[in-house]
Amino acid sequence: MKPIIVSGIKPSGVLHIGNYLGMIKQSVDLQESGKYSCLYFVADYHSLTTGYKPEEKSAEVMGIITDLLAAGLDPKKSILFVQSHILEHANLAWIFNTLTSMGQLERMVEYKEKVAEGQVPNAGLFDYPVLMAADILLYKARKVPVGEDQRQHLELARDIARTFNKKFGETFPEPEGVFTKALRVMSLSDPKKKMSKTMPAGCLYLTDSPKKIAEKIGAAVTDSQKEVGYDPKNRPGISNLVNIYAEFSDDTPAAVVKKFQGASYKEFKGAAAELVSEKLREIQERKSEIEKNKKEIMRIVGEGAESVRPVAQKTLAEVKNKIGLV
């Protein structure tokens, strides 16, 4: 039996290339590897921790589903569902809350970063990692695709599994990380900061037109040197563009630098804009076709929920029995 791999993505507005390279592209690669039983979900409960308009939330959820399908997730090879359609996620998270200390959550770096960025420090944002642990352990997943910025959350999930097993008997495997090879995609306008919707000028959205992509990459911050190079510490701007080109071309940064040896920044930026535009055009065209059939989209996530629900119900029933609930 293939090991189960679980990953989720929040529906919080239009996706940018950092979201695509950091989660979606990696998810498609894992799907195509044939090594895992892949469960991918739209993390709509997680998205409620930030400000939103109720009338826009359903559109965001549908938008993420179509983005995932357009980017290559295949419902014949992976299971795609919506988090809130499986009530056991929240139920298990509550039980895990009783095993998680305040100190563990207070140490979470991402929580501190989000509060520093101006997000309201509500209880859901604080408790976010516990729900994430429930997302993973509900399916007894052995593998979780994560970037370096999620390593701390994965460790908490492992701690919760260990604590539960010690207190109530062996139940959960301690999930291992499948650390994605994609580096953090940084803002085009401030390469020392992660690409974010809060800085739209430096953000390449999956919906951007070729003209807009060319404008943003053309205006991207580089440095005073003239040769394309890769030195993230000392030359973050041009290194970020090299990394973007490398990810979209499935190449290495070293190979990209070699390819553009002797080229001017203008020439390299033009080539990068052309490459990104072509890749996003393919996704945009597929999305345009997919979103015409809302009934089919709902059928896919409905069947996905039906596939995972028995697993979730079985796990929660086992947990309730072991902790003494009737």
Q: How far is Cα 145 from Cα 180, in angstroms, rounded to an integer?
A: 6
Q: How far is Cα 237 from Cα 229, in angstroms, rounded to an integer?
A: 10
Active site residue 269: no
Contacts of 88 (CB under 8 A, 6+ apart): 138, 309, 312, 313, 315, 316
Q: How far is Cα 155 from Cα 161, in angstroms, rounded to an integer?
A: 10
Catalytic residue among 10, 25, 114, 140: 114
Reduced to 3 states, what is the DSSP secondary structure of residue 144?
strand
**Residue the block writes with tokens 């809130």:** 84
Catalytic residue among 197, 212, 259, 320: 197
Active site residue 216: no
Catalytic residue among 10, 140, 167, 194: 194
Q: Determine the angle formed by the axes of helices 294-323 and 88-97, rounding to 10 degrees.
A: 40
Q: Can you name the residues that pair with 175 across neighbouring β-strands?
A: none
Residue 242 amino acid letter: V
Active site residue 294: no
The catalytic residues are 114, 194, 197
